[in-house]
Chain A
Amino acid sequence: MPTKIDRRSFLKVLGLGGAGAALAGCDRPSYATLEEGEEQVFSYLAPEEYVVPGIGVWYASTCLQCPAGCGVHGRVREGRALKLEGNPDTALNKGKLCQMGQAALQTHYNPDRITKPRIGDQEVTWPEALAHIQSKSGGATAWLTGAISGHQAVLLDTHLHARDGGGKHYAVETVNAQAWQAACADTIGDARPELHIDKANSVLSFGADFLGTWISPVKFMADYGAFRSAPRGVLTVIEPAMTLSGANADHWVAARPGSEAAVALGVAYTLASEYGVSTSALPSGAADAIANMTPDRVMELSGVEAQTLSKIAATLMSNSPSLVIGDGRYETAAAAMALNMMLGNIGATITPGVDLVPADLAMRNGSTKALADFAADALAGRIDSVFITGANPAFTASGGLKIKDALANIPLKIGVSMFEDETTQLCDVVLPLASPLEDWGTHVPSSGAGRGEIHVQQPLMEKLHPETLGLGDILLGLAQDAGADGLADFEDYYGYLRTAVSALIGTDQETAWQAVLQAGKVQAPSGERAFTANGALNIQIADTQAPSAGQLTLITTARQGLYDGRHANLPWLQEAPDQISKAVWDSWAEIHPKTAAGLGLKDGDYITITSSAGAITTRVFLYKGVHPDAIAVPMGRGHTHYGRYATGIGVNPLSVLDGTQDVRTGEFLATASVRVQATGDNRHLVRLMDVDQQYGRKLAVTISADQHRRNQTNNQGSA
């Protein structure tokens, strides 16, 4: 009879065996695994000042993984950057860094970096590439970039102005806050006011994922920490698909896609009708929009009930001051600002930002409207050559935009990039860009925190690939070659930046410059802005009804991690479980279980999502945190040409957006009407946390926020 070994005794045997092996190891060492002469060791030629091999030195620099521009400290040992952390001395991120910032090391050491210039498929030298550009780039030139600020932006302008044909700059970002900024400009005359989540006692967000990707997530996370400490602020989030901020909310409400503005106006209506909050001080147009948004109308447009509106109104009234934010569509942001005005938040949790006195350093915010403008100009033949850097329009453009046709209409396309991607593939010339950890620069934080504090970027190490060049150096060289005034004396961007920063701080002493580098920041002179009275507010409410049978509304969502797809080539971020689904290395479509049941779909079923612009095929993830009329697919994956880690992984939902633009801002809407069809395949979605419950095992004991509050009240009552 075979001996039966149960799991427990099996483990015991293993334990004993393990100990035995360990003891044997002490007694008679096995020499087999130790290496001799396998690796090489190099000494310094001459010792570097302050450098001791084996001991890390921290240098200050700036994170360029998203437009927020957080300050970093990078640990360098033996000439290699090894670890990044937040710079504790910045007003913006106060020593914190998000996962995308941490993963900047993988951007830097990525094996798919471009190391040499190329023309077509041919690797060439820099002089050859530049001569080619020079000979072909007559006429109107353009720069297509991501959000950009600081001295690189100044040089970019200088380059465009120095050219005979003139030129235009298009700053493109898919994840942006354009709608919010437009609404702020229209209501208080300041597109970028400072937000004080930490000073609020309640926050109401309409789809602005401030903890994940909105404006400056690390800053907002720190503020959120203060907001949640005693007295604990109350967070309410209203959105069609749950974001990281939504997942943290005390009260999360699913609204039909596109109906967030209706809910916001409904809350305003309830504040006026139940609490007598006046709407008379609002810009003209807003009061009418609120008066028309009865709870019945809200229900009709969004599916949100009157009692939910009452509950939200009660939360806002009893937890003052509050802060209301909203983004995605202009009317959502405008309605959120109307709420702020009604609730007296202007001047309390929303205060004026500052203007940098060297105004040309300011952040050029990216938008998708800029991409639409670029495509229109290109199709009309108004662009003869374009430099593209920090943007991948061939991947991020809405499917409806036909960006490839637009690019094909530009005779000379120059990609200035660290990686081959969908856009460089269409470029005629590609120039290899140095990594942010090898480059100089100055960056203005996108949130305006720090009131004029500019972050300084300095190289943490020598270039890994000698033929790469920093963006500032490329811009300086191009501007010099175009005959720009006053640049002839600068040998490189370092020299230019040092001179420019010295002018900013009013001294060119070496010690002052070293202090700037050590701090990783410089305080630029800045002037206070003031809120101005406002004219009319045009809040147009979309007629969002339940979609017709067989149709769903696709929402493309942004996640901290792969972001707009730029980080899909970083294995750490592909491997980091998604904040909502916990999935790794693949795409998925979030569908409400009820909707899925109606369509006969179950978890892991592959579906084809078809819009007027195209189709994608991915698998179903059943999730209650999405409105039953919606289907949500996170953006970031679905690359066809982005190195070994990104190519062929997942799908790109941006490719099925139909190119509908927001009326006020011109931004592409992140929604499209789609049909869903099962393919018949089913495969398990790989997730870190495969089930959403603990089957009563109490592995991580939790209580609801309501229960916690009740306990606190009871305790206080009995004390």
Chain B
Amino acid sequence: MSPDRRKRSPFPWIRTIMAVGVVGALIVLGGQMLEHERRGGESPMTESGPRVPNAVFPTDTFAGKDIAQPINYSHKLHAGDLGINCLYCHTYARRSKVAGIPPTSKCMGCHTAVATADDKPEIAKLSAMWESGQSPAWNKVNDMPDFVHFSHERHLQKFLFDNPDMNIQDSREVCAMCHGDMVEVGVAKKMRPLTMGFCNTCHENNDGPADCTRCHK
């Protein structure tokens, strides 16, 4: 008898997932990049902020700190140059209160085929973590206080999915309302204050709920 005697492997189906994942990732991302090319690759952001029709977006800005991260991932490269949709990686945002960090398997879905550990030192870090079964310990950049209930799902629903004049491809515009345009930064940086005043102004301008218990519950 020993405490580590376990019958069930934690990831019995991991090989299948990875195989399907690599093929799927390349197809989806290929499509996204082609679309990005077709639209000329330019940033759709306007001078004064994101282009979200039927919404008045907040203009407050915030000069966030540079926060060191375990891997020097680049939003600029992935979301900007390659034009990958925010919701491809932050896939939980449309289903949950949190946007979620993509599971490492999703990163590896591409990086076993393109820009692999062999030629990129940052990817080598990622691969090493993947091999050893560790998740990167990302330092939270946009952190709501524990007494605030914020739902990504609800906000995407209103400004993206239920918004008749929005294309899903342009989710970045909606994200930018609270996060700023992430293609401007390296890993991540806080670019909006996310204070109660900031939230309130937007709620007033866009007919959001005003009762305290909607956010403080």
**B195 at the binding interface (Cβ < 8 Å):** yes
**A46 at the binding interface (Cβ < 8 Å):** yes
Residue contact A37 to B141, C-beta cutoff 8 Å = yes
A54 contact from B6, B97, B197, Cβ within 8 A: B97
A689 shortest CB reach to chain B, Å: 27
Chain A residues lying within 8 Å of B64, measured Cβ to Cβ, are: 36
**A513 at the binding interface (Cβ < 8 Å):** no
Residue contact A52 to B96, C-beta cutoff 8 Å = yes
Residue contact A31 to B135, C-beta cutoff 8 Å = no
**B215 at the binding interface (Cβ < 8 Å):** no
Chain A residues lying within 8 Å of B11, measured Cβ to Cβ, are: 45-46
Which of A35, A40, A45 is most buried by chain B, counting CB atoms within 10 A of its CB? A45
**A296 at the binding interface (Cβ < 8 Å):** no
**A531 at the binding interface (Cβ < 8 Å):** no
**B145 at the binding interface (Cβ < 8 Å):** yes
Given A37-B139, A47-B103, answer yes or no on A469-B65 (Cβ-Cβ < 8 Å): no
Residue contact B104 to A480, C-beta cutoff 8 Å = no
CA distance A127 to B65 in the complex (A): 49
Residue contact B140 to A55, C-beta cutoff 8 Å = no
Residue contact B140 to A46, C-beta cutoff 8 Å = no
**A467 at the binding interface (Cβ < 8 Å):** yes
**B19 at the binding interface (Cβ < 8 Å):** no
Given A29-B196, A491-B5, answer yes or no on A45-B92 (Cβ-Cβ < 8 Å): no
A348 shortest CB reach to chain B, Å: 48
CA distance A473 to B1 in the complex (A): 8
A27 contact from B8, B106, B145, B197, Cβ within 8 A: B197
B207 shortest CB reach to chain A, Å: 17
B201 shortest CB reach to chain A, Å: 7
CA distance A33 to B193 in the complex (A): 11
- Specify the chain A residue showing the minimal Cβ separation from B18: A46
**A511 at the binding interface (Cβ < 8 Å):** no
- Majority-rule SS of B interface residues: loop
Residue contact A31 to B195, C-beta cutoff 8 Å = yes
B95 contact from A47, A52, A477, A480, Cβ within 8 A: A52
Chain B residues lying within 8 Å of A28, measured Cβ to Cβ, are: 197
CA distance A495 to B5 in the complex (A): 11
Residue contact B95 to A43, C-beta cutoff 8 Å = no
CA distance A263 to B4 in the complex (A): 59
Residue contact B2 to A127, C-beta cutoff 8 Å = yes
Residue contact A26 to B136, C-beta cutoff 8 Å = no
- Specify the chain A residue showing the minimal Cβ separation from B97: A54
Chain B residues lying within 8 Å of A38, measured Cβ to Cβ, are: 139-140, 143
CA distance A45 to B135 in the complex (A): 6
Residue contact B104 to A466, C-beta cutoff 8 Å = no
Chain B residues lying within 8 Å of A130, measured Cβ to Cβ, are: 1
**B164 at the binding interface (Cβ < 8 Å):** no
Residue contact B92 to A42, C-beta cutoff 8 Å = no
Give B89-141 interface residues, CB cut-off 8 Å to A. 92, 95-98, 100-106, 130, 133-141
A27 shortest CB reach to chain B, Å: 7
Residue contact A54 to B3, C-beta cutoff 8 Å = no
**B17 at the binding interface (Cβ < 8 Å):** yes
B-contact 0/1 string along A481-503, CB 8 Å cutoff: 10000000001101100000000
**B35 at the binding interface (Cβ < 8 Å):** no
A37 contact from B5, B67, B102, Cβ within 8 A: B67
B135 contact from A25, A44, A52, A480, Cβ within 8 A: A44
Residue contact B140 to A474, C-beta cutoff 8 Å = no
CA distance A466 to B3 in the complex (A): 8
A33 contact from B67, B98, B101, B145, Cβ within 8 A: B145
Given A30-B195, A33-B145, A45-B130, answer yes or no on A40-B140 (Cβ-Cβ < 8 Å): yes
**A468 at the binding interface (Cβ < 8 Å):** yes
Give A6-44 interface residues, CB cut-off 8 Å to B. 25-31, 33-44
Chain A residues lying within 8 Å of B161, measured Cβ to Cβ, are: none
Residue contact A54 to B98, C-beta cutoff 8 Å = yes
Given A36-B64, A54-B98, answer yes or no on A46-B195 (Cβ-Cβ < 8 Å): no
Residue contact B67 to A29, C-beta cutoff 8 Å = no
A-contact 0/1 string along B5-18, CB 8 Å cutoff: 11110010010010
Residue contact B137 to A42, C-beta cutoff 8 Å = yes
Residue contact A40 to B130, C-beta cutoff 8 Å = no
Given A26-B201, A34-B195, A477-B1, answer yes or no on A46-B138 (Cβ-Cβ < 8 Å): no
**A645 at the binding interface (Cβ < 8 Å):** no
B138 contact from A42, A53, A468, A495, Cβ within 8 A: A42
Chain B residues lying within 8 Å of A271, measured Cβ to Cβ, are: none
**A568 at the binding interface (Cβ < 8 Å):** no
Give B1-57 interface residues, CB cut-off 8 Å to A. 1-8, 11, 14, 17
- Specify the chain A residue showing the minimal Cβ separation from B100: A53
Residue contact B193 to A34, C-beta cutoff 8 Å = yes
Chain A residues lying within 8 Å of B190, measured Cβ to Cβ, are: 36
Residue contact B7 to A29, C-beta cutoff 8 Å = no
B-contact 0/1 string along A239-256, CB 8 Å cutoff: 000000000000000000
A-contact 0/1 string along B74-97, CB 8 Å cutoff: 000000000000000000100111
**A387 at the binding interface (Cβ < 8 Å):** no
B1 contact from A31, A41, A126, A467, Cβ within 8 A: A126
Chain A residues lying within 8 Å of B96, measured Cβ to Cβ, are: 52-55
**A478 at the binding interface (Cβ < 8 Å):** yes
Residue contact A478 to B1, C-beta cutoff 8 Å = yes
CA distance A28 to B198 in the complex (A): 9
- Specify the chain B residue showing the minimal Cβ separation from A32: B195
Residue contact B92 to A53, C-beta cutoff 8 Å = yes
CA distance A38 to B190 in the complex (A): 13
Residue contact A43 to B197, C-beta cutoff 8 Å = no
Chain B residues lying within 8 Å of A26, measured Cβ to Cβ, are: 196-197, 200-201
CA distance A46 to B9 in the complex (A): 13
- Specify the chain A residue showing the minimal Cβ separation from B204: A26
A488 shortest CB reach to chain B, Å: 12
Chain B residues lying within 8 Å of A55, measured Cβ to Cβ, are: 95-97
Given A43-B104, A43-B136, answer yes or no on A494-B1 (Cβ-Cβ < 8 Å): no
CA distance A480 to B17 in the complex (A): 37
Chain B residues lying within 8 Å of A495, measured Cβ to Cβ, are: 7
Chain B residues lying within 8 Å of A41, measured Cβ to Cβ, are: 101, 137-140
**B194 at the binding interface (Cβ < 8 Å):** yes
Given A26-B201, A43-B102, A52-B95, answer yes or no on A492-B138 (Cβ-Cβ < 8 Å): no
CA distance A41 to B145 in the complex (A): 14
CA distance A37 to B190 in the complex (A): 10
Chain B residues lying within 8 Å of A36, measured Cβ to Cβ, are: 64-65, 67, 140-141, 143, 190
CA distance A473 to B3 in the complex (A): 9
B-contact 0/1 string along A525-542, CB 8 Å cutoff: 000000000000000000
A29 contact from B14, B104, B145, B197, Cβ within 8 A: B197
Residue contact A31 to B104, C-beta cutoff 8 Å = no
Chain B residues lying within 8 Å of A44, measured Cβ to Cβ, are: 103-105, 135
Which of A43, A480, A494 is most buried by chain B, counting CB atoms within 10 A of its CB? A43
Given A43-B100, A54-B98, A478-B1, answer yes or no on A37-B130 (Cβ-Cβ < 8 Å): no
Residue contact A491 to B7, C-beta cutoff 8 Å = yes
Give A642-684 interface residues, CB cut-off 8 Å to B. none
- Specify the chain A residue showing the minimal Cβ separation from B107: A43
Q: A25-B197, A53-B100 are in contact. List 18 more A-B contacts (CB 8 A).
A: A29-B198, A34-B145, A37-B140, A38-B143, A40-B140, A41-B139, A42-B135, A42-B137, A43-B102, A45-B105, A52-B92, A53-B98, A55-B95, A126-B2, A130-B1, A467-B3, A478-B1, A491-B6
5 contacts between A and B (CB under 8 A): A34-B194, A53-B98, A54-B100, A130-B1, A473-B1
CB-CB nearest 8 A-B residue pairs = A477-B1, A54-B96, A29-B195, A54-B98, A43-B101, A37-B67, A46-B105, A29-B197
A residues near B (Cβ < 8 Å) are 25-31, 33-47, 52-55, 126-127, 130, 466-469, 473-474, 476-478, 480-481, 491-492, 494-495
